[in-house]
Amino acid sequence: MKSSHAGHRDLAWALQQQARRAGERAPSVRGSDWRLATVTAVNTDGTIDADGIEDIRCLETYALPAVGDVVILDQNSMGNWLCRGRAATTSGWTNLTLAAGFQNPGHGYTASYLREGRRIWMRGRIGPTSGTIADGATLATLPAAIRPSASVAWAVARDATVVPATVRLEINTAGVLRTYQSSNLPSWVSLDGISYTI
């Protein structure tokens, strides 16, 4: 027969194990928790849904959420979820496929883009394989995933044969990248600094 001390010891051990198991499952006991999740919906109120969790609030730094983003979620001790933002999962810069008759002019970055959520960044230079770039020439057609929802345009740098050394560069909703300069045609144009949202 066991002594009363042994019985108390067994009971104490069993209670300790039960408390440990409960603490492993309950955020209110273990404190905050985080995980990676994939955004499945962007709601009109600025919240997101991810991996079956609905209405997750986002930090101000994650201003352009997009479906498919891999994000970092925190859960506080009350069980509430907060999205810290995208995980650094970008593949880096992706080269653009240029239209026939165009290439890198031999200086500057190769024409490329970087996607960060809904934000697209562009860089690089484009020139013709010979001569100058005709007014309204199509330099490239962007992949469907990075096309703007409305036509966008910029004044971009060009060769310095005229002052000011800029031309109009436009991307339409079909992803067609064109340059416009009716006289003093450029021998190259720059994409450096172009940014827009999709």
- Token pair belonging to 90: 């970008």
- 68 and 98, same structural domain? no
pLDDT > 70 fraction of the chain, expressed in percent and rounded? 89
Please compute the mean of the pLDDT values over residues 110-139 and round it to a whole number. 94
- Please report whether residue 3 resides in a domain: no
Report the b/e string of 3-32 with b at 16+ CB within 10 A: eeeeeeeeeeeeeeeeeeeeeeeeeeeeee
CB 93 within 8 A of CB 112: yes
Q: Is residue 7 part of a domain?
A: no
Q: What is the mean pLDDT of the chain?
A: 88
The whole-number pLDDT of residue 3 equals 63
Q: What are phi and psi of 80, to 5 degrees?
A: -80, 145
73 and 114 share one domain: no
Q: Burial, 96: exposed, middle or buried (Cβ in 10 Å; 0-12, 13-18, 19+)?
A: buried
Residues 129 and 101 in one domain: yes
123 and 179 fall within a common domain:
yes
Residues 75 and 110 placed together within one structural domain of the fold: no
Number of independent structural domains in the chain = 2
Sign of CA pseudo-dihedral 168, 169, 170, 174: positive
What average pLDDT score do residues 114-125 get?
A: 90
16 within domain boundaries: no
Query: Do 178 and 114 fall within a single domain?
Result: yes
Same domain, residue pair 80 and 142: no
Instruction: Kindly state the average pLDDT of the residues 59-64.
Output: 84
Same domain, 48 and 129: no
Q: What is the pTM of this model?
A: 0.62
Could you list the residue range(s) of the whole structural domain that residue 128 is in? 94-197
Residue 27 has pLDDT above 60, yes or no: no
179/107 same-domain check: yes
Q: What is the pLDDT of residue 68?
A: 86
Q: Is residue 12 in a domain?
A: no
What's the average model confidence in pLDDT over 91-103?
Answer: 92
Q: Is residue 5 part of a domain?
A: no
What CATH number is given to the structural domain containing 167?
2.60.40.1830
What mean pLDDT do residues 179-195 have? 93
- Do 117 and 77 belong together in one domain? no
Which of 52-56, 69-73, 85-89, 185-189 is predicted least confidently? 85-89
Of the pLDDT bands very low, low, confident and very high (cuts 50, 70, 90), residue 10 is confident
Please tell me the predicted confidence (pLDDT) of residue 29. Answer: 56
Same domain, yes or no: 70 and 126: no
Rounded distance between C-alpha atoms, residue 42 and residue 34, angstroms? 20
